[in-house]
Amino acid sequence: MTHEIRAWSSGLHEWLPRGVALVVGVGFVALGLWAMVGPRSFFDSVAHFEPYNQHLLQDVGAFQVGLGVVLLLGSLAARTDGLTVALVGVGAGAALHAVSHVVGRDLGGTPAVDIPVFAGMAVLLLAAGLLSWRRAPRL
């Protein structure tokens, strides 16, 4: 009996963290994309915190997607190291953050500075993530 319990417990330790990361990662990506693509709908349905701020909701959506990508990569790419997962996930969020600033360039801020800086950060993060993915020792 003890052997069966240990085997079940070992399996639980294997699949539960991955399952949680997968489910929550999908949820973060879905909610983040919703906030980015339909900020007013997202505000009216789940984030009714006055005052409505389209740009803020789209930025939050971008970062939600980045968090989701980190969880998804961590759950699906079991043989990839943490640095690679972080670089690619944060790079995805940073790229969408730059997109948010392109879409909301008429909403304030300093688009002439913000957009190239945020896009450059995204390119650096994603390029470093790709290099890391290619060179990382497989765990």
- Reported as a single tens digit per residue, the pLDDT across 11-66 is 777 789 899 999 999 999 999 999 999 999 999 999 999 999 999 999 999 999 99
Q: 106-109: which pairs have CB atoms within 8 A and are 24 or more residues apart?
A: 107/54, 107/55, 108/55, 109/55
Whether residue 54 is contained in a domain is answered as yes
Domain total in the chain: 1
Distance from C-alpha of 133 to C-alpha of 137, rounded to nearest angstrom? 9
Is residue 6 a part of any domain in this protein? no
Q: Is residue 69 part of a domain?
A: yes
Residue 133 confidence (pLDDT) = 86
Q: Give the pLDDT confidence score for residue 52 in this predicted structure.
A: 96
- Whether 10 is in a domain gets the answer no
Residue 120 lies in a domain: yes
Smallest Cα–Cα separation from 97: which of 137, 67, 127?
Answer: 67
pLDDT score at 6: 62
Q: In the prediction, which pLDDT does 4 show?
A: 62
Please compute the mean of the pLDDT values over residues 101-117 and round it to a whole number: 92
Domain span at residue 42 reads 20-135
104 in a domain, yes or no?
yes
> What pLDDT, on a 0 to 100 scale, did the predictor assign at position 95?
97
Residue 5, pLDDT > 70, answer no
- Give a yes or no: residue 85 inside a domain: yes
Closest CA to 115 of 128, 99, 92: 99
